[in-house]
């Protein structure tokens, strides 16, 4: 594990066993996050972004099986750890904001009591002080009238307020790493901006690292120090944010940016990404899972994926390897 990495995932592969065959959801995924760093994880739906987050936290479906790789968090081997050890880490050291707060929150328990549950489980807060601390957590998230909201059930709150409650739950114990999985899904633009400003404020204030999972490249560009691009279970490119946007190397990354409206004068400038993600149950999946959609495909693309690195910029692509003088390594 890197001496400076808080989270260090190396060559992680994960499969799901289903009635229709084995789904190779992740393959050779490598991801590192340093203390205090914000990393964006981007790609189309089905790229494996949330699957990776659940695997890191030990929350994968029962049908999932990790076939290779390693994952360490702050010195703890997450894949070898006992469930009791993971339960200590989840919520206290690593926490997660889930995509749909109204589904993630307990619908028949008051939000204040849900906060108290987390505080009682992971902190040394005295029972007599739990309510006061829970109300303060709601106030920290700038929830109006936190004393009254403490008694509310999730169905009594708007989507934006439920999202703030989810953030309060995630941050209640002062985690070292926050995983935010599409934290603004289903919210209007104004509420999205307010939620992201709140998350950013809290990460900076507390010195937390964050993994931001999003489809929104504009949001990732605004919030992240570094961006990792995924396609069909592969990590295809990783670079500092501005480097990725000014010098994208992988054909998929370039097409993904081309399909993003940020900085466009008109919608006519947008370009669609052709084709669709491959069926990950296929026995004949190509080594490069983007090759069948790629306009730059060449004969070498059928071989093992190369890994081309230029300092902090990493890309896995035969086309880049062929035109680059940078030495390559094949994992």
> Cα–Cα distance between 213 and 210 in angstroms, integer?
9
Segment 276-280 mean pLDDT:
93
Residue 266 confidence (pLDDT):
65
Tell me the longest C-alpha to C-alpha distance in the chain: 69
Pairing of strands 307-310, 94-97: unpaired
Q: Does residue 185 form part of some domain?
A: yes
Lowest mean pLDDT among 30-34, 49-53, 91-95, 326-330: 326-330
Q: Mean pLDDT, the chain, as a whole number? A: 90
Q: Tokens 């109204």 — which residue?
A: 102
Q: Tokens 């230029």 — which residue?
A: 310
Q: Does residue 129 form part of some domain?
A: no
Q: Encode pLDDT of 200-227 as tens digits.
A: 988 998 899 999 999 889 899 999 999 9
Over 70: is that where the pLDDT of 263 sits? no
Residues 143, 162 contacting (CB under 8 angstroms): no
Residue 10 confidence (pLDDT):
96
What is the extent of the structural domain holding 32? 5-93+175-310+318-329
Cα-Cα-Cα-Cα dihedral sign, residues 249, 250, 251, 256: negative
What CATH number is given to the structural domain containing 203? 3.40.50.300
Nearest C-alpha neighbor of 301 from the set 317, 312, 285, 313: 317
Residues 107, 175 contacting (CB under 8 angstroms): no
Residue 321 confidence (pLDDT):
81
Q: Does residue 292 form part of some domain?
A: yes
Residues 248, 257 contacting (CB under 8 angstroms): yes
Segment 275-302 mean pLDDT:
90
Over 70: is that where the pLDDT of 317 sits? yes
Q: Encode pLDDT of 91-146 as tens digits.
A: 899 999 988 888 889 999 999 999 999 999 999 989 999 999 999 999 998 999 99
Structural domain total, the chain: 1
Cα-Cα-Cα-Cα dihedral sign, residues 261, 267, 273, 277: positive
**H or E element that contains 103:** helix 101-104
236-260 in b/e burial notation, b at 16+ Cβ within 10 A?
A: bbbbebebbbeebbbbbbbbbbeeb
HSE (side-chain half, CA atoms, 13 Å) at 58: 20
Segment 164-172 mean pLDDT:
92
Q: Does residue 247 form part of some domain?
A: yes
Over 70: is that where the pLDDT of 265 sits? no
Higher pLDDT residue, 287 or 184?
Answer: 287
pTM of structure: 0.90
Q: Does residue 207 form part of some domain?
A: yes
CB atoms within 10 A of CB 198: 18
> Cα–Cα distance between 210 and 33 in angstroms, integer?
8
Q: How confident is the model at residue 250 (pLDDT cuts 50, 70, 90)?
A: very high
Residues 102, 155 contacting (CB under 8 angstroms): yes
Query: Per DSSP, what are the bridge partners of residue 7?
Result: 33, 73
**H or E element that contains 82:** none
Segment 261-287 mean pLDDT:
81
Residue 103 confidence (pLDDT):
86
The percent of residues above 70 in pLDDT, for the chain, comes to 94
Q: Encode pLDDT of 44-90 as tens digits.
A: 999 999 999 999 999 999 999 999 999 999 999 999 999 999 998 99
Tell me the backbone φ, ψ of residue 330, rounded to 5 degrees: -110, 115
The percent of residues above 90 in pLDDT, for the chain, comes to 66
Assign 3-class secondary structure to 193-238: HHHHHHHHHHHHHHCCEEEEEECCHHHHHHHCCEEEEEECCEEEEE
Residue 278 confidence (pLDDT):
93
Higher pLDDT residue, 329 or 281?
Answer: 281
Residues 101, 154 contacting (CB under 8 angstroms): yes
Nearest C-alpha neighbor of 149 from the set 11, 318, 141: 141
Q: How confident is the model at residue 327 (pLDDT cuts 50, 70, 90)?
A: very low
Residue 326 confidence (pLDDT):
45
Q: Does residue 142 form part of some domain?
A: no
Residue 234 CA: distances (Å) to CA of 95, 181, 183, 253, 306: 24, 18, 23, 12, 12
Nearest C-alpha neighbor of 318 from the set 259, 244, 241, 249: 249
Both structure tokens of 126: 């005295």
Residue 28 CA: distances (Å) to CA of 49, 66, 250, 260: 13, 11, 17, 27
Both structure tokens of 182: 């599409």
Q: Does residue 31 form part of some domain?
A: yes
Residues 114, 135 contacting (CB under 8 angstroms): no
């Amino acid at each position: 594990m890197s001496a400076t990495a808080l989270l260090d995932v190396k060559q992680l592969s994960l499969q799901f066993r289903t009635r229709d065959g084995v789904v190779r959801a992740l393959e050779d995924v490598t991801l590192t996050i340093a203390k205090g760093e914000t990393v964006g994880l981007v790609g189309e739906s089905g790229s494996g972004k949330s699957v990776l987050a659940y695997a890191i936290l030990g929350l994968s479906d029962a049908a999932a099986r990790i076939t290779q790789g390693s994952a360490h968090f702050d010195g703890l081997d997450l894949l070898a750890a006992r469930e009791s050890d993971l339960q200590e880490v989840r919520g206290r050291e690593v926490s997660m904001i889930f995509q749909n707060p109204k589904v993630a929150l307990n619908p028949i328990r008051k939000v204040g009591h849900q906060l108290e549950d987390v505080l009682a489980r992971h902190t040394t807060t005295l029972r007599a002080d739990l309510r006061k601390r829970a109300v303060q957590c709601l106030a920290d998230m700038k929830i109006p009238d936190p004393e009254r909201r403490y008694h509310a059930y999730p169905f009594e709150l708007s989507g934006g307020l439920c999202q703030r409650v989810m953030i309060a739950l995630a941050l209640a114990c002062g985690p070292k790493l926050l995983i935010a999985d599409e934290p603004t899904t289903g919210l209007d633009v104004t509420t999205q901006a307010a939620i992201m400003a709140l998350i950013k404020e809290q990460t900076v204030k507390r010195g937390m690292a964050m993994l931001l999972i999003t489809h929104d490249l504009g949001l990732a560009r605004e919030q992240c120090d570094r961006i990792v691009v995924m396609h069909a279970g592969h990590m295809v490119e990783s670079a500092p944010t501005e480097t990725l946007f000014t010098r994208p190397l992988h054909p998929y990354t370039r097409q993904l940016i081309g399909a993003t409206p940020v900085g466009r004068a008109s919608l006519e400038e947008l370009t669609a990404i052709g084709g669709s993600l491959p069926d990950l149950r296929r026995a004949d999946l190509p080594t490069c899972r983007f090759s069948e959609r790629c306009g730059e495909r060449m004969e070498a693309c059928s071989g093992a994926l190369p890994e081309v690195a230029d300092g902090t910029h990493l890309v896995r692509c035969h086309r880049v390897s062929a035109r680059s003088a940078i030495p390559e390594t094949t994992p």
